[in-house]
Structure 1
Amino acid sequence: MKLYPIQSGNFKLDGGAMFGVVPKSLWQRTNPADQNNMIDIAARCLLIEDGNRLILIDTGMGNKQSDKFYGYYHLWGDDSIDKSLAHHGFHRDDITDVFMTHLHFDHCGGSIQWNKDRTGYEPAFKNAHFWSNISHWQWATQPNRREKASFLKENIIPMEESGQLKFTALPEQHILKDSALGFDIFFANGHTEKQMIPMIHYKGKTICFMADLLPTVGHLPIPFVMGYDTRPLLTLDEKELFLNLAADHNYYLFLEHDAHNEIITVKHTEKGVRHYETFTCNALFS
């Protein structure tokens, strides 16, 4: 097995929204804001090469939305999935599976693209299966008013129409082991219904793709919860459970949204689980 970081692009989000009720005087120590209160956000995806399978976890925002839409998110840098795949010697047509932690637009938007004459949409990975789970799929296709703006039909419905959509099994408790994709999955419901956190066993280590359960290093304290979470009190419990497992078993936490920290480990302290070490993907995966 080989792992590769795939940079799909960077953007900015309001720091207050990213940290909910936490005062700016606290969160800006780890996530400094610009003059508009916006903080740097990455959309760092992960590619797993395992035998004859190439599994891409999440796909970023994509490029099919309007300039007005992207203007809300202050895109920065010149990263793209195509450039990042090419850097590692791959093309999007090589991808066999696209695993979506959840269907918010900044995690799955790159899965679907305009067709050639821009009259409709088509899979951006024509040879891949798209993986979700039935509970989250129903949640996303019949969205509540809180999340409706994050579940964009043009990102979601074309997956089903393509015939390339597949669903994982659901766990009896939190963790689904020995999944069809070759890695374990931790299910969390605080951010959105049945968000999936892949746990990849790699060279004696467990690499956990943290998605929106732990967006950045700054979110390590248990009460530091995003304003975007639909069930913040549940996030508290799920994050505490997962971070204790991570500290107990020395998990390596791959941070999708932290623009400046790629992978971290954590440890138990008197104040709870806290940051221990930081690694680059190149150092850990080489």
Structure 2
Amino acid sequence: MTLYPINSGNFKLDGGAMFGVVPKSLWQRTNPADANNMIDIAARCLLIEDGDKLTLIDTGMGNKQSDKFFGYYYLWGDDSIDKSLKQHGFNRNDITDVFMTHLHFDHCGGAIQWNKDHTDYEPAFKNANFWSNKDHWHWATQPNNREKASFLEENILPIKNSGQLKFTDVPNGDIQRNSELDFDIFYADGHTDKQMIPMIQYKGKTICFVADLLPTAGHIPLPFVMGYDTRPLLTLDEKERFLKMAADNNYYLFLEHDAHNEIITVKNTEKGVRLQDVYSCNEIFN
């Protein structure tokens, strides 16, 4: 097995929204804001090469939305999925599986693109299975008013229409194994219903793609919960259990949205779980 970071593009989000009720005087120590109160956000995906499977975890926003839409998110940098795949010797047609942690636009938008004449949508990875789970799919296709702006039909419905959609099992407890993709999944409901956190065994390490359960290293303290989370009290409980597990077992946490920290480990302290070490992907994957 080989792992590759795939940088799909960077953007900015409001720091207050990213940290909920936590005062700016606290969160800006780790996530400094610009003059518009916006903080740096990445869309760092993960590519798993394992035998004849090439699995991409999340896809970023994609590029099919309007300039007005992207104007809300202050895109910066020159990263893209195509550029990042090419750096590692791959292209979109090589991808066998796309695993979507959840269906918010910044995680799945890149799964679907315009066709050549801009008359309809098509899968951006024509040879891939697209993985979700039935509970989250139902949640996303019949969205509540709180999340409706994040679940965009043009990102979601064409996946089903393509015939390439597959569902992984939803467990009775926290963790379920996907035998086809050969990794465990931690399920979390605080941010959105049945968000999936892949836990990958790699060279004696457990690499956890923590998605929006832990958006940045600055979100490690338990009360530091995003304003975007639909059930913040559930997030508190899920973060506590997951971070305790990560500290006890020395998990390596792959940060999708932290523009400046790629992989971290955490440790138990008298004040709770706190940051231990920060690594680049090259340090862990090579």
TM bin (shorter chain): over 0.9
Alpha-carbon distance, 1:63 to partner: 0.1
Aligned to 1:202: 202
C-alpha distance in 2 between matches for 1:36 and 1:239: 29
What does residue 108 of structure 2 align with?
108
Taking the TM superposition and a 5 Å limit, the aligned residue runs for 1:4-15 are 4-15=4-15
Residue-by-residue CA offset, 1:12-38 (whole Å, 9 max, x unaligned)? 000000000000000000000000000
Distance 2:120 2:38 in 1: 33
Contact between 1:18 and 1:228, CA under 8 Å: does it hold in 2?
A: yes
Counterpart in the other structure of 2:94: 94
Q: How does 1:3-152 map to 2 (within 5 A)?
A: 3-152=3-152
Q: Once the 2 structures are TM-superposed, how far is the Cα of residue 180 of structure 1 from its aligned partner?
A: 2.3
Once residues 145 and 122 of structure 1 are traced to their aligned partners in structure 2, the CA distance between those partners, rounded to angstroms, is 27
Report how many residues are paired. 286
Structure 2 contact 168–178 (Cα < 8 Å) conserved: no
Q: Give distance in 2, aligned partners of 1:213 and 1:180.
A: 24
CA distance in 2 between partners of 1:271 and 1:25 (Å): 19
- Counterpart residue type for residue 58 of structure 1: D
Equivalent residue number for residue 228 of structure 2? 228
Give the Å deviation of 1:178. Answer: 4.9
3-state SS, counterpart of residue 226 of structure 1: coil
Which amino acid is the alignment partner of residue 233 of structure 2?
L
Q: CA deviation at 1:133?
A: 0.1
Shift of 1:209: 0.1
Name the Cα RMSD after superposition.
0.5
**Aligned mates of 1:191, 1:180 — CA distance in 2:** 26
Q: Tell me which amino acid in the other structure corresponds to 1:60.
A: G
Report matched runs for 1:128-207 at 5 Å.
128-207=128-207
Q: CA deviation at 1:283?
A: 1.2
The secondary structure found in structure 1 opposite 2:228 is: coil
SS at match of 1:192: coil
1:258 & 1:182 partners in 2: Cα distance? 26
In the alignment, is residue 256 of structure 1 matched against residue 256 of structure 2? yes
Over residues 147-192 of structure 1, what are the superposed CA-to-partner deviations in whole Å (9 max), with x where a residue is unaligned?
Answer: 0000000000000000000000111200003532100000000000
Q: Distance in 1 between matches of 2:275 and 2:14?
A: 23
- Identity, % of aligned positions: 80
Unaligned runs of 5+ in 2: none
SS at match of 1:135: helix
TM-score, reference length from structure 2: 1.00
Q: Matched residues in 2 for 1:128 and 1:178: separation?
A: 16
| Cα deviation code 1:80-132 (max 9, x no counterpart) | 00000000000000000000000000000000000010001000000000000
Cα pair 2:98 2:130 within 8 Å, conserved: yes
Q: Is the 8 A contact 1:168 1:179 kept in 2?
A: no
What is the CA deviation profile of residues 211-264 of structure 1, one whole-angstrom value per residue up to 9, with x for unaligned ones? Answer: 000000000000000000000000000000000000000000000000000000
